[in-house]
């Protein structure tokens, strides 16, 4: 009798594990109608032979990341609209927003993940659908928040491959230089023309792709992650700030609130940066108009007199981002581009703006996908 009970339980366990394995391996891709519309919100300067900075503020949702092909379709539609309006040429530098690559972590997942109502629920589905990858990532996780670390780390190798194929492919397809927003990866580096990952800490990094689709220089790692990311994302304390040569001039990239630090502009000036791209992201619907929270747990630079609560988040971004504002920045032009959309219960804010001759030019209505163009 006892042997029969053990046999029955063993068969039931095997059946349950087999069913779970079949469920986890199933990745159906449903039909999805994506909004491909985008408006030209700001067009500053006069067309000429020196090229242009073109910011793409996309409006993205989890289902846009169901496959790299689906995300390519949406971003390519934005670039096609820019091409139709005469905004693309061999000297165009396209700037995408912060974390546009990070959300590749949810690519190729089950419908239950995209249909979740909260980010926490979606991440639970991510772990449940990839038990072995999650277990390996959990074992190798670092920092105080091992759960979020594991979620970001578990698919990093595939994310790096998809990121290069997608954004390098777009740069080559449209014959432009492309600042591919940012992506969170462990110890990213360019080796033999390929984006590779390491085994160390997670960094929020940006790669610039040339017109041939290949990376230019090394990934620019974020120097000052804000406090609500610092328990997962490491600060770039050792690697130098990168300035790369493009057909439109020497380009530097400051990720997010790295653009708030005057010393970063000094370092870019020392390397002859003529253009500055700022991929950015502000989480929380309506956060742009809420009181600024200061440097968010980091030391305030001695040359900055602003205090938390004195002005709104949006006003702080435009005051502190010093691209093309001499003498702090000697660049001739700059572009700050924000990610917009809704990722489960996490809304977004941020009004993209460009900088030229010490002035900011912003879109007054940031709803929907927007193009911002600066002729150099």
Q: What residue spans define the domains of the chain?
A: 1-30+108-154, 36-102+156-375
Query: What is the three-class DSSP state of 32?
Result: coil
pLDDT(120) > 90: yes
Is there a contact between 375 and 47 (Cβ–Cβ < 8 Å)? yes
Burial 273-294 (b: 16+ CB within 10 A, else e): bbbbbbbbbbbeeebbeeebeb
* Inter-CA distances, 265 with 38, 127, 240, 243, 295, Å: 31, 40, 13, 11, 17
- Residue-averaged pLDDT of the chain: 89
Is there a contact between 126 and 109 (Cβ–Cβ < 8 Å)? yes
Going by pLDDT thresholds of 50, 70 and 90, the confidence category of residue 2 is low
Higher pLDDT, 29 or 352: 352
* Inter-CA distances, 253 with 77, 181, 293, 332, 374, Å: 25, 9, 24, 14, 16
Q: What are the tens digits of pLDDT across the range 49-78?
A: 999 999 999 999 999 999 999 999 999 999
Burial tier of 189 (Cβ tally within 10 Å: 0-12, 13-18, 19+): middle
pLDDT(26) > 60: no
Whether the full predicted model's pTM is greater than 0.85, yes or no, is yes
What is the pLDDT, as a whole number, of residue 28? 56
Going by pLDDT thresholds of 50, 70 and 90, the confidence category of residue 297 is low
pLDDT(200) > 50: yes
Sign of torsion over alpha carbons 8, 9, 12, 14: negative
Q: Greatest CA span in the chain, whole angstroms?
A: 88
Averaged pLDDT for residues 284-300: 85
Q: What are the tens digits of pLDDT across the range 128-149?
A: 999 999 999 999 888 778 899 9
Is there a contact between 111 and 67 (Cβ–Cβ < 8 Å)? no
Most confident of 73-87, 215-229, 323-337: 73-87
Q: What is the percent of the chain with per-residue pLDDT over 70, rounded to a whole number?
A: 89
Averaged pLDDT for residues 8-27: 46
Residue 104 and residue 97: Cα distance in Å, rounded? 14
Going by pLDDT thresholds of 50, 70 and 90, the confidence category of residue 36 is very high
- The region of weakest confidence among 14-18, 263-267, 363-367 is 14-18
> At a CB cut-off of 8 Å and minimum separation 6, what does 140 contact?
153, 199
Averaged pLDDT for residues 152-171: 97
- The region of weakest confidence among 125-139, 190-204, 219-233, 279-293 is 219-233
The CATH superfamily of 36-102+156-375 is Carbon-nitrogen hydrolase (3.60.110.10)
pLDDT(230) > 80: no
Write down the residue that tokens 């934005």 correspond to: 78
pLDDT(90) > 70: yes
Q: What is the percent of the chain with per-residue pLDDT over 90, rounded to a whole number?
A: 73
Residue 77 and residue 61: Cα distance in Å, rounded? 16
């Amino acid at each position: 009798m006892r042997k029969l009970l053990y046999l029955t339980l063993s068969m039931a366990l095997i059946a349950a594990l087999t069913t779970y394995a079949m469920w986890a391996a199933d990745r159906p891709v449903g039909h999805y109608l994506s909004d491909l519309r985008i408006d030209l919100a700001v067009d500053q300067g006069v067309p000429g032979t020196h090229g242009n900075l073109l910011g793409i503020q996309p409006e993205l949702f989890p289902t846009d990341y169901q496959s790299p092909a689906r995300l390519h379709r949406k971003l390519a539609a934005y670039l096609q609209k820019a091409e139709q309006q005469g905004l693309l040429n061999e000297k165009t530098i396209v700037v995408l927003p912060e974390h546009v690559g990070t959300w590749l972590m949810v690519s190729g997942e089950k419908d239950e993940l995209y249909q979740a109502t909260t980010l926490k629920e979606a991440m639970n589905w991510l772990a449940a659908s990839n038990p072995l990858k999650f277990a390996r990532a959990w074992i190798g996780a670092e920092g105080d928040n091992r759960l979020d670390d594991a979620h970001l780390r578990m698919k990093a190798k595939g994310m790096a491959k998809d990121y290069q194929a997608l954004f390098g492919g777009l740069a080559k397809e449209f014959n432009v230089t492309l600042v591919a927003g940012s992506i969170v990866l462990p110890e990213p580096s360019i080796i033999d023309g390929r984006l590779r990952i390491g085994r160390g800490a997670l960094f929020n990094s940006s790669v610039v792709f040339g017109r041939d689709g290949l990376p230019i220089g090394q990934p620019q790692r974020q120097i000052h992650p804000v406090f609500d990311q610092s328990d997962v994302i490491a600060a770039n304390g050792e690697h130098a700030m990168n300035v790369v040569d493009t057909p439109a001039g020497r380009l530097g990239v400051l990720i997010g609130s790295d653009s708030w630090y005057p010393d970063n502009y000094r370092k870019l000036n020392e390397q002859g940066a003529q253009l500055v791209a700022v991929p950015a992201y502000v989480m929380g619907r309506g956060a742009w108009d809420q009181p600024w929270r200061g440097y968010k747990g980091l030391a305030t630079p001695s040359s900055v007199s602003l205090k938390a609560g004195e002005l709104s988040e949006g006003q702080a971004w435009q005051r502190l981002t010093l691209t093309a504002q001499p003498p702090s920045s000697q660049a001739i032009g700059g572009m700050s581009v924000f990610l917009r959309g809704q990722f489960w219960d996490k809304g977004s804010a941020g009004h993209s703006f460009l900088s030229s001759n010490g002035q900011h030019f912003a879109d007054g209505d940031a709803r929907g996908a927007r193009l911002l163009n600066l002729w150099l």
